């Protein structure tokens, strides 16, 4: 029996007690974590543009993103405006390169087509966005494996796509929403298609670089040109279908290498070669819809513009001046160029090389990153103050003294709680996690009994928790001296080195928070699992530093140093500095007086 009394059983152990503040902070932490992951899922990885497309009249520019989303801007007036955002729900996975199996094309100035491949089902879907109404409709379901930007062409109500792996081209009627006919244009696999603006001529590039020119009025192949053998898939068909422009073999001499372009006559097969001033081989070319201007770009150096009639060089602009653009699209009139860089569209005036507008860009990630960093930092500080206050109370109870929490500290805790609550409300509103209109409608639809229960239940829970918390508190001793407080048991002023140590903990904690939060909101796919440890380390470091904690600071230093597993070298350095500060004699004396031991 003696041994049994000396060693208390599990059932005799008192369960942990929590204050109202701690319960509130736990709920707030749960809300913050849920909000962070919800925001990360909503924002997803930073999107990138993979195709640009002008409408026939040049007043609309559409951009297709890797997630499948399509945005359309109207370019009229001084300030372009976003008129449509469609598709991309659910978003495509960026890791599977599914964005390569999609494309967009304007059928006319009011209809935008989106082509989507479903390889497993061996089906290609064509959907249409009506820009006037914003409605999306299913147009075609084609029994082919997949389609890409290169093997799709559109002219008015005619849609052309090559049957992958064959030399056949499907000709579809968008109004009738059916496959009109099938053309056999090459004995070899067709890789790319282009159709003339007038809709009379189709050019198909096969796997060997031969260009089959098809008269769409008679559905006959009128010529086969070796036009695309120099640079694979780089070609431009003129607006009237009479010319094909493609790279030619460069001229190599002692003076250097001269890149050339070849202009082929689609009827006679005659070819003329013209020199360029490009430094590298041609990687992209396009002819304006009016047929007057040719744009040619190499892989890294510059872009040049020629008059299609005389092949005279009109203008040259370096890639550096175009802000390292990735994709290009020439406007129908040939005087405006659209380029893309990551998730932005740049609108250029070619006459002056002036950047007119920058369009798009994903939602700014700086605001949600800052919101969550501040939210977690405030939460950590509130938890630190609450934990320190409870520890000080326990220390005072050991000498049978009960103290009241200072009014100022209660106010600070209340303000911190209010700020965190506001941050959470702002975040769930900004991310549309909660749609307040739907909430309002739900509340208005409640019966009187349901409304009463909704108000009474939280009040009842609070009252019960407060009663349980009040019963758990020991009564004050009869010889209670109100002049004894937690602060009176400590030296009055902590040394400057310890204050600096606390400040470094806060700074290191903020940086540790920034690592996982920025990963989640910017590039979650590349996030390492160790970044989650960084979130914990940051919260703990801020809670101890902000509250001016004096116990077990050595463990916090070790926690910061261990954050090197999240590739956090800053906290490793700060941990070394903090350890040095904690070993200063004034700091050791203060900590010894505060908690009877070292750091």
Per-residue pLDDT, 203? 94
What's residue 471's pLDDT?
Answer: 42
pLDDT tens-place values along the chain, 599 residues long:
444 455 545 444 455 556 677 777 788 888 888 888 887 776 666 778 899 999 999 999 999 998 888 999 998 877 888 899 899 877 776 666 788 899 999 999 999 999 999 888 889 999 999 999 999 999 999 999 889 999 999 999 999 999 988 999 999 999 999 999 999 999 999 999 999 999 999 999 998 889 999 999 999 999 999 887 666 678 899 999 999 999 888 888 777 788 889 999 999 999 999 999 888 877 888 999 999 999 998 877 788 999 999 999 998 888 777 766 788 899 999 899 998 887 888 888 888 888 888 887 655 677 788 888 888 888 888 888 877 777 666 665 554 444 444 556 667 766 776 776 777 677 667 666 666 665 665 565 555 555 655 565 555 555 544 544 444 444 444 444 444 444 454 556 888 888 899 999 999 999 999 999 888 887 776 777 788 889 989 999 998 888 888 888 888 888 888 888 888 889 889 999 999 999 999 888 888 887 654 45
Separation between Cα atoms, residue 50 and residue 328, nearest integer Å: 10
Q: Within a 13 Å sphere around the CA of 188, how many CA atoms are in the beta-carbon half?
A: 12
Assess contact for 509 and 541: CB atoms under 8 A: yes
Global pTM value: 0.63
**Contact 126/112 with Cβ under 8 angstroms?**
no
CB 112, CB 62: distance < 8 Å: yes
Residues 301 and 307: beta-carbon distance below 8 Å: no
Per-residue pLDDT at 453: 53
Helix (H, G, I), strand (E, B) or coil at 183: strand
Positive or negative, the CA dihedral 495, 496, 497, 498 is positive
What is residue 321's three-state secondary structure? coil
Backbone torsions φ then ψ of 199, nearest 5 degrees = 75, 15
Half-sphere exposure at residue 523, Cβ-oriented, CA atoms within 13 angstroms: 7
DSSP state of 178: E
User: What pLDDT score was predicted for residue 211?
Assistant: 93
- With residues binned 3-state (H G I as helix, E B as strand, rest as coil), the percentages for the chain, rounded to 5, are 35, 30, 35
The 10 Å Cβ neighbour count of residue 562 is 17
Tell me how far CA of residue 500 lies from CA of 492, 497, 508, in angstroms.
17, 5, 12
Please give the span between the terminal C-alpha atoms of the chain, in angstroms, as a whole number: 40
pLDDT of residue 403: 41
């Amino acid at each position: 029996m003696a041994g049994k009394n000396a060693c208390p059983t599990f059932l005799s152990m008192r369960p942990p007690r929590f204050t109202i503040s701690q319960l509130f902070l736990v709920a707030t932490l749960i809300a913050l974590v849920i909000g962070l992951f919800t925001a990360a899922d909503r924002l997803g990885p930073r999107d990138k543009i993979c195709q640009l497309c002008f409408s026939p009249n040049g007043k609309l520019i559409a951009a297709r993103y890797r997630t499948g989303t399509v945005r359309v801007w109207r370019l009229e007036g001084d300030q372009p405006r976003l008129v449509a955002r469609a598709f991309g729900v659910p978003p495509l996975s960026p890791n599977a390169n599914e964005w390569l199996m999609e494309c967009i094309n304007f059928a006319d100035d009011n209809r935008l087509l989106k082509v989507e491949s479903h390889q497993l089902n061996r089906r290609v879907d064509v959907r249409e966005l009506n820009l006037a109404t914003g409605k999306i409709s299913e147009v075609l379901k084609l029994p082919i494996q997949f389609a890409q930007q290169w093997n799709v062409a559109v002219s008015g109500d005619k849609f052309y796509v090559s049957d992958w792996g064959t030399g056949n081209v499907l000709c579809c009627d968008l109004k009738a929403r059916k496959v009109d006919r099938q053309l056999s244009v090459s004995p070899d696999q067709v890789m790319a298609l282009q159709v003339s603006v007038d809709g009379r001529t189709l050019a198909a590039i096969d796997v060997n670089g031969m260009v089959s020119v098809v008269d769409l009025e008679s559905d006959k192949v009128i010529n086969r040109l070796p036009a695309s053998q120099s640079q694979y898939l780089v070609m431009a068909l003129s607006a009237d279908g009479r010319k094909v422009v493609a790279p030619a073999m460069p001229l190599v001499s002692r003076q250097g290498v001269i890149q050339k372009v070849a202009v082929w006559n689609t009827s006679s097969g005659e070819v003329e070669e013209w020199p360029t001033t490009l430094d590298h081989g041609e990687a992209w070319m396009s002819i304006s819809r009016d047929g007057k201007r040719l744009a040619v770009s190499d892989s890294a150096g510059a872009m040049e513009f020629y008059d299609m009639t005389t092949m005279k060089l009109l203008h040259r602009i370096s890639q550096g001046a175009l802000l390292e653009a990735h994709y290009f699209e020439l406007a129908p009139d040939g005087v405006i160029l659209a380029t893309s860089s990551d998730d932005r569209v740049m609108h250029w005036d070619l006459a002056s090389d002036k950047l007119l507008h920058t369009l798009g860009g994903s939602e700014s990630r700086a605001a949600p990153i800052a919101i969550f960093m501040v939210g977690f930092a405030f939460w950590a500080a509130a938890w630190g103050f609450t934990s320190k206050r409870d520890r000080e109370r326990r220390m005072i109870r050991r000498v049978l003294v009960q103290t009241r929490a200072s009014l100022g500290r209660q106010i600070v805790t209340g303000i911190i709680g209010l700020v965190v609550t506001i941050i959470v409300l702002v975040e769930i509103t900004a991310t549309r996690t909660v749609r307040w209109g739907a909430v309002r409608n739900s509340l208005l639809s409640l019966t009187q009994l349901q409304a009463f229960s909704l108000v009474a239940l939280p009040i009842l829970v609070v009252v019960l928790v407060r009663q349980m918390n009040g019963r758990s508190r020991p009564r004050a001793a009869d010889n209670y001296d109100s002049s004894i407080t937690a602060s009176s048991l400590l030296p009055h002023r902590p040394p400057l080195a310890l204050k600096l140590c606390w400040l470094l903990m806060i700074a290191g904690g903020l940086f540790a928070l920034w690592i996982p939060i920025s990963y989640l909101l910017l590039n979650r796919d590349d996030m390492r699992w160790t970044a989650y440890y960084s979130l914990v380390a940051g919260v703990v470091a801020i809670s101890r530093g902000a509250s001016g904690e004096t116990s077990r600071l050595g463990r916090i230093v070790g926690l910061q140093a261990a954050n090197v597993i999240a590739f956090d070298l800053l906290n490793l350095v700060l941990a070394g500095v903090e350890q040095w500060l904690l070993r200063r004699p004034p700091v050791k004396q203060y900590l010894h007086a505060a908690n009877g031991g070292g750091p």
